[in-house]
């Protein structure tokens, strides 16, 4: 995990500075070194990749997991073999206050604090490992096999452990899985995944990672399993809502009671709008189909009339050149184009004057061309107007 990502995760978890721990042998209070961690997750144990490595037979490979949440430090016992004590009490998980000490085998780990920048982690209860401790926005994990969704699970805890051990809430039944492979941590920015020295490590979208902020539809690969992340709402929107709640000092549960009905109404409205759109499109398709069926004969007649009009216009174009060439001759032969005259009469055009001069012929031809062109240009308007009137 690079330094910039470490600090990003630290800020997202409510930290403004390093976590300070003092490690010492029991009964040697105040003599151990002080360690600073510029990250919100600390794995304590004998594993060679542990953040705080303690070598002793009474210390498990993955013994204790420390996680900063909303500026507070939570300790979670991972090893089922050896108990962990907070003060004089044996606990599986506990919040650590400044000055508190965890006893791990022969070692004492004292929390010396760290600069806090509390975030709006909307926990519904005191236990971040409990179901429903982070109810909104909902995040679903989909188990993907052969590009199909096999199972779905709701991620509604602030912290969720993944592996095949009893402490894990997402149990991976696989020979590739470790007792604890990783943790999933909810913050206002979204879901973070933190490697806890699992046997095969982690991959996000095919890239090996130690820590990552998961986006919508990202694929998390853990213990030879592929989990796809799906957000109900975008992390950015959830972060804005959480910040507003923090600034306004509003009870998170009250916000949930107010927002849930509103979100449900918005979802219902979107569903109704989509159904109405579908109905409108189906109605339009039926109307167009019925119109084409009912007015097929009308459309056919108008198309035949349009073809006759186009032929008449072509005839006029062909007549114009020979008529103009014949004008200088002293004798003007009678115009023989009976078919074009019939076409002119068919469309209500004026006849050619008897014994015309040059100007009359020009005027007559121009009028015929203009009238035929106008009728052709208005054909489609007339056609659809007639269909609309008949419908």
CA dist 111 → 16, 20, 22, 79, 288 (Å): 16, 6, 7, 20, 76
Strand-pairing partners, residue 154, are 140
Q: Decide if 104 contacts 54 (C-beta within 8 A).
A: yes
Q: How far apart are CA 217 and CA 326, in angstroms?
A: 82
Q: For residues 205 and 220, what is the distance between their CA atoms, to the nearest angstrom?
A: 7
Q: Is the peptide bond before 262 cis (omega within 30 degrees of 0)?
A: no
Contact 67, 13 (CB under 8 A): yes
Q: Kindly state the average pLDDT of the residues 273-299.
A: 72
Residue 337: the pLDDT is: 46
115 against 274, higher pLDDT: 115
Q: What is the mean pLDDT of the chain?
A: 78
Report residue 86's pLDDT band, with 50, 70 and 90 as the boundaries.
confident
Query: Which CB contacts under 8 angstroms, 24+ apart, belong to 348-357?
Result: 356/332
- pLDDT of 79 reads 85
157-178 pLDDT tens trace: 999 999 999 999 999 988 899 9
pLDDT of residue 249: 53
Place of tokens 């206002």: 188
Assign 272 to helix, strand or coil. Answer: helix
Handedness of CA 217, 186, 23, 35 (dihedral sign): positive
**Confidence band of 317 (pLDDT split at 50, 70, 90):** low
Q: How far apart are CA 80 and CA 90, in angstroms?
A: 12
Residue 381 pLDDT more than 90? no
Beta bridge pairs of residue 192: 185, 213
pLDDT at 142: 95
pLDDT tens-digit readout, 217-262: 999 999 999 999 999 876 666 556 555 555 555 555 555 566 666 7
d(CA 138, CA 259): 13
Rounded to two decimals, the pTM is 0.60
CA distances, 306 to each of 20, 58, 127, 148, 200 (Å): 91, 99, 82, 57, 77
Integer Cα distance of 211 and 69 in angstroms: 16
In angstroms, rounded to a whole number, what is the distance separating the alpha carbons of residues 151 and 69?
29
Q: Using the Cα atoms of residue 203, residue 206, residue 208 and residue 209 in order, give the sign of their dihedral.
A: negative
At 333 the pLDDT is: 47
Rounded CA-CA distance 73/342 in Å is 100
Helices (H), 51-188: none
Q: How many CB atoms lie within 10 A of CB 356?
A: 16
Residue 318: predicted pLDDT: 67
The pLDDT-based confidence of 330 (bands split at 50, 70, 90) is: very low
Please name which of 67, 72, 64 lies closest in space to residue 97, comparing C-alpha atoms.
Answer: 72
Tens of pLDDT, residue by residue over 4-50, are 898 999 999 999 999 999 999 876 766 788 999 999 999 999 999 99
Q: How confident is the model at residue 120 (pLDDT cuts 50, 70, 90)?
A: low
- For the residues of 11-48, what is the DSSP string, one character each? HHTTBSS-EEEEEEETT-TT-SPEEEESSSEEEEESST
Residue 338's pLDDT is 43
Q: What's the distance, CA 219 to chain centroid?
A: 14
Burial class (CB in 10 A: 0-12, 13-18, 19+), 214: buried
Paired with 212 in beta bridges are 193
Q: Distances from the Cα of 21 to the Cαs of 9, 73, 107, 291, 328, in angstroms?
A: 19, 11, 12, 81, 116
Strands 41-45 and 19-25: unpaired
Name the token pair of 81. 């073999």
């Amino acid at each position: 995990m690079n330094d910039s990502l470490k600090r990003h995760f630290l800020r997202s978890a409510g930290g403004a500075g390093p976590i300070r721990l003092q490690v010492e042998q029991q009964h040697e209070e105040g003599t151990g070194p002080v360690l600073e961690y510029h990250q919100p997750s600390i794995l304590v144990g004998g594993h060679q990749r542990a953040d705080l490595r303690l070598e002793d037979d009474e210390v498990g490979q993955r013994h204790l997991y420390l996680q900063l949440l909303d500026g507070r430090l939570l300790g979670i016992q991972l090893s089922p073999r050896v108990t962990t004590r907070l003060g004089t009490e044996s606990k599986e998980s506990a919040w650590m206050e400044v000055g508190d000490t965890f006893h791990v085998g022969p070692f004492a780990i004292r929390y010396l604090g760290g600069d806090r920048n509390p975030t709006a982690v909307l926990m519904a209860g005191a236990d971040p490992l409990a179901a429903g401790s982070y109810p909104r926005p909902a995040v679903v994990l989909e188990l993907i096999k052969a590009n199909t969704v096999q199972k779905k699970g709701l991620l509604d805890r602030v912290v969720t452990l993944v592996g095949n051990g009893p402490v894990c809430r997402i149990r991976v039944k696989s020979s590739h899985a470790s007792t604890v492979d990783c943790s999933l941590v909810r913050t206002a920015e979204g879901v973070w995944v933190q490697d806890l020295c699992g046997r095969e490590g982690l991959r996000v979208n095919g890239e090996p990672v130690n820590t990552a902020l998961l986006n919508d539809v990202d694929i998390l690969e853990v213990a030879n399993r592929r989990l796809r992340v799906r957000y109900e709402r975008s992390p950015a929107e959830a972060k804005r809502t959480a910040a507003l709640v923090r600034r306004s000092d509003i009870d998170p549960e009250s916000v949930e009671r107010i927002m849930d009905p509103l979100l449900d109404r918005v979802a219902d409205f979107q569903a109704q709008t989509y159904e109405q759109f579908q109905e409108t499109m189906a109605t339009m398709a039926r109307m167009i189909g019925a119109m084409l069926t009912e007015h097929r004969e009308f459309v056919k007649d108008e198309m035949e009339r349009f073809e006759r009009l186009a032929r008449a216009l072509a005839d006029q174009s062909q007549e114009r050149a020979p008529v103009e060439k014949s004008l200088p001759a002293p004798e003007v032969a009678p115009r023989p184009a009976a078919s074009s005259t019939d076409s002119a009469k068919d469309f209500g055009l004026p006849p050619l004057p008897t014994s015309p001069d040059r100007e009359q012929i020009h005027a007559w031809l121009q009028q015929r061309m203009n009238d035929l062109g106008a009728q052709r240009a208005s054909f489609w308007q007339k056609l659809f107007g007639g269909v609309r009137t008949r419908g």
